[in-house]
Amino acid sequence: MSIISDERLSDLTNDEISRYSRHLLLQEMGIEGQKRLKAARVLIVGAGGLGAPLALYLAAAGVGTLGILDFDYVEASNLQRQIIHGTKDIDRPKTASAQDRIRALNPGVKVVTHNTRLSSENALEILKDYDVVADGTDNYQTRYLVNDACVLLGIPNVYGSIFQSEGQASVFYAPEGPCYRCLYPSPPPPGLVPSCAEGGVVGVLPGIVGTIQACEVIKLITGGGEGLQGRLLLFDAWRMKFRELKVERDPGCPICGQNSTIHELIDYEQFCGLKLSSEEQPIETITALELKERIDRGDPLQIIDIREPHERAIAKFHGAKAIPLGQMARRVDEFDPSVDAVFLCKIGQRSIFAIRALNDAGYKGRLLNLKDGVNAWARDVDRSLPQY
């Protein structure tokens, strides 16, 4: 059954019939299905790796209104997978770049840009104007926010996520089926799962997962086919294997369960453990320029590179001792508490967890985190090194 009511349907023009003729020839789609696509309003949250194929294929399919929500700017490192953007778009807002590409592909699609960060304050107001939300985000706090907003509004949430060479996709649509919280009641500990910027991703992977999401959106709109509701599709690009897990609705789910306890949007950064608790000590930082000054003065320092060997090969930090993050706690005896220790990674995120691991192990020396990591050193000090 389609989520688009008959009252919203309008006839196709001759130009539209020509453009979408390959859809119209399908018994499962036909004129009625294309009319529903034309009437549909879809919000894509994130104009990155997943959002790119989502936007392009939904625009090509003739979805009448596409909302694109993103607050970020195009970077060179995006172009390995975010095919909606081009080299000329570097430093442009992703929403503007995506809008131009969609209009070039299909001028008949109305594009609504939301150049903002989705938050508990604006999510309900933005999402209420759409029939379907396609989640192309890359962090847990926004995934839970999208899920909860969709449940509260009664909107289907077409979910996709990627990690290195593996991807997932499903459809969450309460009360007719499970929501994201039924599958993942709580987020993983902060830092356990690195982002694409830290862990990398096979460039074609988001294209595959995002295209699956686009297919699920089309089926919801047209009312055809068998959707992923109640099923989690797992894809391994390296092994070229698909698996499927059954997902059942959790009667005790705090937002879609029988006795729900969440009736409004919450603080998702706090829920995901991203806010510093009163028990945690703030991490002391040092900038690349400050570190350079201390090195030039000959200050005694322990500089610790927590990156793995394959990552250190991209940009070497000379004079640093390599201790991977996973070995930190058991190698605490290699540190001298009387000498300041500076920790570095790519962008200064994983190194925070190395410092916390040493603190938890009872280390008493001074620990400093290189702000923005090796990329800051390459940007501000040694420009012969690449930023990656």
Active-site hit among 150, 179, 182, 345: 345
Active-site hit among 196, 215, 253, 272: 196
How much of the chain, in percent, has pLDDT values that exceed 90?
A: 87
How much of the chain, in percent, has pLDDT values that exceed 70?
A: 98
| Residue 1 in this model has a pLDDT that exceeds 90 | no
The Cα–Cα gap between 278 and 280 comes to: 6
On the CB side of 92, CA atoms within 13 Å amount to 17
What's the pLDDT score for residue 168? Answer: 98
| Residue 190 in this model has a pLDDT that exceeds 80 | no
Label the pairing between strands 367-370 and 341-344.
parallel
pTM: 0.87
Average pLDDT over the chain reads 94
Could you state, in order of their start, the residue ranges of all structural domains in the chain? 6-271, 284-380
pLDDT tens figures, 274-298: 775 556 678 999 999 999 999 999 9
Interval 89-112 mean pLDDT: 98
| Residue 191 in this model has a pLDDT that exceeds 90 | no
Q: Is 253 a residue of the active site?
A: no
Instruction: Please tell me the least confidently modeled range out of 6-20, 192-206, 208-222.
Output: 192-206
Instruction: Please tell me the least confidently modeled range out of 184-188, 201-205, 288-292.
Output: 184-188
Instruction: Please tell me the least confidently modeled range out of 189-193, 234-238, 284-288.
Output: 189-193
The 3-state DSSP composition of the chain as helix, strand, coil percent (nearest 5) reads: 35, 15, 45
What's the pLDDT score for residue 279? Answer: 60
Q: Is 256 a residue of the active site?
A: no
| Residue 52 in this model has a pLDDT that exceeds 70 | yes
What's the pLDDT score for residue 126? Answer: 98
What's the pLDDT score for residue 175? Answer: 80
Q: What is the DSSP string of 85-111?
A: --GGGTTSBHHHHHHHHHHHH-TTSEE
Residue 97's pLDDT band (cuts 50, 70, 90): very high
Helix (H, G, I), strand (E, B) or coil at 43: strand
- CATH: 3.40.50.1370, 3.40.50.720, 3.40.50.2300, 3.30.930.10. Which one for 6-271? 3.40.50.720
| Residue 201 in this model has a pLDDT that exceeds 70 | yes
What's the pLDDT score for residue 276? Answer: 55
What's the pLDDT score for residue 193? Answer: 77
Q: Which of 174-178, 190-194, 271-275, 343-347 has the highest mean pLDDT?
A: 343-347
What's the pLDDT score for residue 174? Answer: 84
Q: What is the CATH number of domain 284-380?
A: 3.40.250.10
pLDDT tens figures, 56-84: 999 999 999 999 999 999 999 999 999 99
What's the pLDDT score for residue 282? Answer: 85
pLDDT tens figures, 314-361: 999 999 999 998 888 889 999 999 999 999 999 998 999 899 989 988
Instruction: Please tell me the least confidently modeled range out of 20-24, 77-81, 256-260, 298-302.
Output: 256-260
Q: Tokens representing 91? A: 């430093």
Return the sign of the alpha-carbon dihedral for residues 283, 284, 290, 293: negative
